[in-house]
Chains A and B, each alone.
Chain A
């Protein structure tokens, strides 16, 4: 019998932080991971591999844009391994860092697949067949998520891929259909398009990334189309099939037929709990297919906590890390302050998008009238210098034009730039802070100043101050 104070299931961003936090509190901790490597889908199939590919896609795009300096064409059928050439190094470095951290904190690492036998007992099947029993006073379920498989999409990982297998394709396909309009779909669609693949994006909604304001996502679609991509909104996919030779045939309910060499189904992700037998622990999935938790990240079974993708949105690595840390703190009775609700979202498409706080739509719903300030990157010196097109920063303020309610950005650097707005909001500073502060020049941070001035100019009083 292996007894621990805390057992963490899954070693992704949430699980890793949960385990380290519990160990730092002096507890005996086991970290169970079904894979040979630590890090979960984030490191091995999702965030890190796709961002590594994105870096090379950006280089290719830049080189194409600078044809006057250097004529560049990516060879046909470029091997994927060439495009994610640094991936192994990145993953090895990450793994090394994580292993060191786990060992340094005396966390017991268990390679195997966990399955609840009771609310306090787990059976861990090892890959070579044997089973070990583990018990703990507290558990943190951080088993992550897996791609959702719609019934009408026969994912075969050969011609029809999901987001976990798309990077296993050996060569860059000549054409790709991307089903979905969420974060993963938008990222991969724009990355592959930037690499020269003929991408068609199909989704049931009029615009992708519905959780962001339409004026931002329109810019994203425009940039995607400017690269040669095709966006097909408001289309429902009826069927997908491989023709047995060279094409994946996608048929929509309105009769539209799209042929492509490969297809990526990015129809969302669901909690990865199939092997956990959570019902034996007294748990069940909610209507969205995730594990429900309260504001302490506690499940319906008091000593079992859950964090990360397994509890559903926001499903961001950044939020998962903090959830994991907090889950352990809460399980161990360590006092923590309220979790910040101000979590920025980052979409690593080409171009990037990022948002913090309320969208315009949410702000109007909560606050009634609001003021909007926009700054286009092409009107900012740095944007001109860098040749950034389709970039925009948008500030949403209250009706007085004082309180910052939200910031949304589209354009290169968005995921870094958002933090300026986030810090202003966290410090509860008025819109004026963006005008009164001095930023480096020329930088894209100037867009904050321009957008803030646009809001101040709409104020009913003292609009002439600046």
Chain B
């Protein structure tokens, strides 16, 4: 086993940050190098769930469906939401626009156009397939959705940008499924096997870099880009530190809600990020009371 510390490709200047204590096998290192190449060459593709595409198609053919159902469907899928927002924000539809919410996009562009955008995006993009990693991928999307919902509640409490917090939360880990997708494709092509544990390590190490490239490629607003890039190290954020802090806190709360960490909600609420958000004990307590609402929101938006 080799000690996995850091990769740096001098030609692209990308330094990827990780915990130096992780050990990777030679295969793990080979995959890591491939991931580094994908990042530096910005050859990242964003997968879409075919299931979502079929649901959008069914909805567009159903005269009884309405805009709120469409919004719910799209909001439940971070990859599709990202595609819709990217295309809705493109020059073809809204020149010079910078829309941040799906509600805004649907209200502005209309339900049928948004349906078309969602369908076009799913049919023209390479479908996501990561055999063996389906459970983890579903977990990531659940976590992202919960992060968006917790982000809204934290932003509401802090009187910060509630609307943008949902999108920032939903997309903060968009690099994770993209990383897994890339790993899956590589190991299949090379006919090699990588352990789930190593996938976790690589996903954890690379997702910020993958996510950063994706949201830049999508020309997302600066607040989304910085949230993706700096949510783990919010003090490094240039202009949207508050938003990055909200997503950091929301992601931690989402992990508790999903049972991904052994900590209780009370323990997570002791985290420094809540103090950095200038939230006092009673305010944090009031946040805890939103858990049922957040869970209900997650259920409602689940695709």
Contacts and interface: CB of A to CB of B under 8 A. Distances in A.
Given A127-B275, A158-B152, A245-B107, A81 B163 contact: no
A169 interface: yes
A164 B280 CA distance: 18
B297 interface: no
Interface in A145-201: 156-159, 164-165, 168-171
A171 B99 contact: yes
B278 A245 contact: no
A36 B276 CA distance: 9
Contacts of B162: 156-158, 168
The 9 closest A-B pairs by CB, nearest first: A246-B107, A75-B96, A158-B162, A165-B159, A77-B97, A128-B275, A127-B275, A170-B164, A168-B161
Interface of A: 34-36, 45, 75-79, 81, 88, 113, 125, 127-129, 156-159, 164-165, 168-171, 244-247, 261
Contacts of A169: 161, 163
A76 B239 contact: no
25 contacts: A35-B278, A75-B96, A75-B97, A77-B94, A77-B99, A77-B104, A125-B280, A125-B281, A127-B278, A127-B279, A128-B272, A157-B159, A157-B162, A158-B162, A158-B163, A168-B162, A170-B100, A170-B161, A170-B163, A171-B98, A244-B68, A245-B71, A246-B67, A246-B103, A261-B104
A245 B164 contact: no
Nearest to A170: B164
B260 interface: no
B303 interface: no
B156 interface: yes
B100 A171 contact: yes
Nearest to B281: A129
Contacts of B275: 127-129
Contacts of B106: 245-246
Interface in B96-143: 96-100, 103-104, 106-107
Interface residues of B, number: 34
A76 B97 contact: yes
Given A158-B162, A168-B160, A246-B103, 13 more contacts: A75-B95, A81-B223, A88-B239, A113-B280, A125-B280, A128-B275, A156-B156, A164-B159, A169-B163, A245-B106, A245-B107, A246-B104, A246-B107
Given A75-B97, A127-B279, A244-B68, A157 B155 contact: yes
Nearest to B111: A245
Contacts of A159: 163
B15 interface: no
A173 B284 CA distance: 30
Contact of B221 (A36, A156, A170, A244): A170
B222 interface: yes
| Majority secondary structure of chain A interface residues (helix, strand, loop or mixed) | loop
B48 to A, nearest CB: 23
A173 to B, nearest CB: 9
Given A77-B99, A164-B159, A245 B280 contact: no
Contacts of A76: 94, 96-97
A162 B103 CA distance: 21
Nearest to A75: B96
A157 B104 CA distance: 16
A165 B161 CA distance: 8
Contacts of B95: 75
Nearest to B164: A170
Interface string B68-88: 100100000000000000000
Nearest to A37: B278
Contacts of B156: 156-158
Nearest to B224: A170
B67 A81 contact: no
Contacts of B281: 125, 129
A144 B293 CA distance: 32
